[in-house]
Amino acid sequence: MHNPALLRPRPSAIARAMKHALNITRQQNFAAWYQEVISEADLAEESGVRGCMVIRPWGYGIWERIQKLMDAEIKKAGVENCYFPLFIPLSFFEKEADHVDGFAKEMAVVTHHRLVKGPKGGLVPDPESKLEEPLVVRPTSETVIGAAMSRWVQSWRDLPLLVNQWANVVRWEMRTRMFLRTSEFLWQEGHTAHADREDAMAETMRALEMYRAFAEGPLAMPVVAGEKPENERFPGAVATYSIEAMMQDGKALQAGTSHYLGTGFAEAAGIKYQDKEGGIQHAHTTSWGVSTRLIGGVIMTHGDDDGLRCPPQIAPHQIVIVPMLRDDEGDAAVIDYGRALAKELGALSAFGEPVRVLFDTKAVKAQTKRWNWVKKGAPIIVEIGPRDVSEGKAAVIRRDRLYQDNGKLATAFTPRDEFVAQAAGLLEEIQTALHAEAKARLDGAIARDVTDLAKHFKGSEDKVVGWAEVQWARPTGEALEKIVARLKELKLTMRNTPIDATPADGVCFFTGEKAVERILIGRTY
């Protein structure tokens, strides 16, 4: 709640009118700005439960858009949805050593099933109700789904087995940040089982590409897809791939992961099948997921000093019409005009879907509503007043280009029919423009000529430095640990080895050996 960065006096309405809708700029304090966007755009708020947030309708509406579009992609790949229990027997985790090591430190555990009045009043767990085997609140579902797969898979004919679930998971993180790292978060987790490595790897890469395309498309968020170095792998995975997005402060955000799990989980859970020759084989499994963290990524990719700029494809309302009402007899005409406009716009189609229009008739002053929608990031805000009714116009504001060069709002008074004719195209243009802007920032902030990491990243707390791409020999074991430790001193981490990077042609940045690939280095969330 208390945040020193928010203590500055709120500027007067007049002063604000000439500046921005938020009280903190990205420049002043990026972390405080991020929190202010979440609060001012009504995306989410504190819940009173450690690390858990209440996702408000505008924030959840964005998540629903993400779900809808992603779910269609998942189904397109032949993956079926299902649902597994929230509670996982502790013993399930003990079957895969690396997996349990990775998650043991952050698991919520259910040990009792009943409350009784405590000696000092209040309710306490009833000692009599202690569970024989504690239940873990799922941090991820490889183990339970693996158990089911062992029942479902008997023959090579049962493979590949492709399932997904939309669910919540809990990871007891030490330090939480809204959307980026919450104790409980919403996600989708895909789990697949295959006959061999080749097929499982193909699925792993398919999911990775699905995420890459989704980030670059609906989210307008450019990312780099690549493989995580060994030390950053998912516990129990043979290979982990990620998409990494760059936030406006230059830090990396891991925005989605896809794992090739080899046969480790299949061995632990007993996922075996009889092959065409009659032999018994372990299946090769994969898992992949994206979460509500994507929303944090969207905020830090597209937000500006006036709040969120929501990409049209995931905006719950793409066009918001705000009537300028005066509580007089002229209001009826404005309402009629707005309603008709909303209906016409709603009949349009953009991105292959009906355009989502809100005619905002809430009894709030028009100017206030305008700034509220600016902060929420509605892609197009249309104001209509008596003047527009008589002139047959609409006052159109593009959220991605709010201001003119002179600092005034870039409101375009457009003939109504002309606007209707342009609206769908305008939404698509805004989507493209947001992506282009972020893409240019990403491309411009990857340095490929770095010779001294400390020097390159010096002062990156205050200014945007971005990432460095260096060549390396992909060392393992102790050699890798030394590199990780060295980077850690500089608060740096290895992000991934981009799959579309130009082949290595030099020596390893760290060891001087012949390099085999390129890897990205940067600060991270």
What is the Cα–Cα distance from 398 to 206, expressed in whole angstroms?
35
Strand partners, 294: none
10 Å CB burial of residue 12 (0-12, 13-18, 19+) is exposed
Nearer to RNA, 257 or 471 (CB): 257
Compute the distance between CA of residue 466 and CA of residue 196 in angstroms, rounded to an integer: 39
Task: Using CB atoms within 10 Å of the CB of residue 230, give its burial: 0 to 12 exposed, 13 to 18 middle, 19+ buried.
Answer: middle
Of the two residues 364 and 421, which places its CB atom closer to RNA in the complex? 364
- Kindly state the smallest distance separating residue 187's Cβ from RNA, in Å: 7
Smallest distance from RNA to CB 489, Å:
8
Is the CB of 3 or the CB of 476 nearer to RNA? 3
Q: Which is nearer to RNA, 153 or 465 (CB)?
A: 465
Q: Which is nearer to RNA, 254 or 318 (CB)?
A: 254
CA 46 to chain centre: 19
Of 280 and 363, CB closest to RNA = 363
State which residue, 393 or 518, has the beta carbon closest to RNA.
393
Measured from the CB of residue 266, what is the shortest distance to RNA in angstroms? 19
Q: Are 285 and 269 in contact (CB under 8 A)?
A: no
Distance of closest approach, residue 481 Cβ to RNA, in angstroms:
12
Q: How far apart are CA 245 and CA 226, in angstroms?
A: 12
Q: Rounded to the nearest 5°, which phi and psi values hold at 391?
A: -95, -5
Residue 502: CB minimum distance to RNA, A:
25
Token pair, residue 119, equals 């000696």
CB of 509 to RNA, least distance (A): 21
**Nearer residue to RNA within complex by CB, 139 or 316:** 139
Element (H, E) at 92: helix 90-94
Q: Are 158 and 273 in contact (CB under 8 A)?
A: yes
CB 498 within 8 A of CB 229: no
To the nearest whole angstrom, how small is the minimum distance from the Cβ of residue 43 to RNA? Answer: 14
CB of 525 to RNA, least distance (A): 8
Closest CA to 176 of 5, 50, 56, 55: 50
Q: How far is the CB of 511 from RNA (least distance, A)?
A: 23
To RNA, the closest distance from the beta carbon of 371 in angstroms equals 3
CB closer to RNA, 431 vs 460:
460
Which residues touch 341 (CB under 8 Å, ≥6 apart)? 321, 359, 382, 384, 394, 416, 420
Q: Which of 316/385 has CB closer to RNA?
A: 385
For 130, residues 6+ apart whose C-beta sits below 8 A from its C-beta are: 111, 112
Residue type, 124: V
Q: Work out how close the CB of 4 gets to RNA at its nearest, in angstroms, rounded to a whole number.
A: 6
- Cα–Cα dist 37/247, whole Å: 14
Which residue, 202 or 409, is less far from RNA as judged by CB?
Answer: 409
Contact between residue 200 and residue 260 where contact means Cβ atoms under 8 Å apart: yes
Residue (173 or 344) nearer to RNA, CB: 173
Q: Is 307 left (phi over 0), alpha (psi -120 to 50) or beta?
A: left
The Cα–Cα gap between 126 and 109 comes to 16
Smallest separation (angstroms) from RNA to the CB of 385: 2
Compare residues 76 and 120 and give the one whose CB is closer to RNA. Answer: 120
Helix, strand, coil percent content, the chain, rounded in steps of 5: 35, 25, 35
Per-residue DSSP letter, 280: E
Q: How far is the CB of 120 from RNA (least distance, A)?
A: 7
Separation between Cα atoms, residue 80 and residue 424, nearest integer Å: 32
* CA dihedral (427, 219, 222, 408) positive or negative: positive
Rounded Cα distance between 193 and 266, Å, is 8
Find, among 295, 351, 349, the residue nearest to 67 by Cα.
295
Dihedral in degrees, nearest 10, Cα atoms 63, 65, 66, 70: 140
